[in-house]
Structure 1
């Protein structure tokens, strides 16, 4: 029963990521959308690995709805999103609330595009970083507003996941 509940919640977060993937953030040479916000929010109620899976799949959905401009390299980005969300959720569960925000902004906005400095070109990296930082910040603002509300609702209704 518990595994079914966990898989169902993860699938629901992925569905929210799919909706967010359709809300594009217009930035140069990057696929940016509101797909990451539901995955980051899921840190409140999913184990870190499952939140990470939702984040990675959220990026795949954004790439698919953007026409896959980087082709198979989106698999690398999905793995990076898994790691970013997994660490964010782990930090959240450990009570490292300031560090989780710093991690998410730097890891998703600067570290994630770093491999493309070598794979594609330095110019692509430097062109992508400002837009990715902006997109990450927009996603994190949504998370910062919704996460405390969701946690209060869970606490008030004594929700145990």
Structure 2
């Protein structure tokens, strides 16, 4: 991986760190505006870059929030990586609105499903409002920024970069 790619990923991970400091009131402290940089990276540079930023962004958010679920944050980081990858796949195929809706629904309602088995249904239900608000806010920020920043990042990572 070239120094340019590593530097660009570091910039987006840094944005995740800043977003991780902006918390959404929730029963756990890791719901934050840390996902929108992974969506930006996914749209500009592809699914792999978005997945890396998504996983690191969640880990930083969890650390800032005190790691309330301990090692279970590995599950959430994996889910965030997968969601960023899926977003990139759909977004790059000109299904931008669908990619946004899928991200919000999957992040808010599907991603916390494994925690029913680790905790209980009450925990899942208690997470839903804050996860929905957090997912929606992350998506709105990304959806607003992608077209405005696309010309700046066009061709900065690899040839054939996405056009906003």
* Structure 1 counterpart of 2:136: 137
| In 1: Cα distance, 2:9 partner to 2:50 partner | 7
| Contact kept in structure 2, 1:30 and 1:132, CA below 8 Å | no
Shifted more, 26-35 versus 54-63: the winner is: 26-35
1:29 deviates by 3.5
CA distance in 1, matches of 2:59, 2:146: 23
Distance 2:5 2:115 in 1: 34
Cα distance in 2 between the residues matched to 1:28 and 1:160: 38
Instruction: Decide whether the 8 Å contact of 2:20 with 2:61 is kept in 1.
Output: yes
Would the alpha carbon gap of residues 160 and 70 (structure 1) be closer, same or farther in structure 2, given more than 3 Å must change? closer
In the aligned structure 2, how far is the partner of 1:117 from the partner of 1:14?
Answer: 29
Distance 1:151 1:142, change over 3 A: same
Distance 1:97 1:73 in 2: 31
Q: CA deviation at 1:55?
A: 0.5
1:30: how far off? Answer: 5.3
Count the aligned residue pairs: 158
What 5-or-longer segments of structure 2 have no aligned partner?
159-164
Alpha-carbon deviation of 1:45? 2.0
Give the equivalent residue in structure 1 for 2:80: 81
Summarize the Cα distance change of 1:87–1:45 in structure 2 as closer, same or farther, 3 Å threshold.
same
Give the deviation of 1:90 after TM superposition. Answer: 1.4
Name the structure 1 match of 2:162: none
Q: Contact conserved, 1:108 with 1:133, CA < 8 A, in 2?
A: yes
Task: Measure the CA separation in 2 of the matches of 1:45 and 1:137.
Answer: 20
1:31 partner SS? coil
* Structure 1 runs (4+) greater than 6 angstroms displaced: none
Q: Residue by residue, what CA displacement relative to the aligned partner does 1:1-33 show, whole Å, maximum 9, x if unpaired?
A: x62222221111111101111111112345211
Deviation at 1:97, TM superposition (A): 1.0
Q: CA deviation at 1:159?
A: 5.3
Over the residues paired in the alignment, what is the CA RMSD in angstroms?
A: 1.6
For 2:44 and 2:139, how far apart are their aligned partners in 1?
Answer: 17
In structure 1, the residue matched to 2:15 is 16
SS in 2 for 1:45: helix
State the shift of 1:82 in Å.
Answer: 0.3
* Correspondence for 2:31: 32
1:160–1:6 CA distance, 2 compared to 1 (3 A): closer
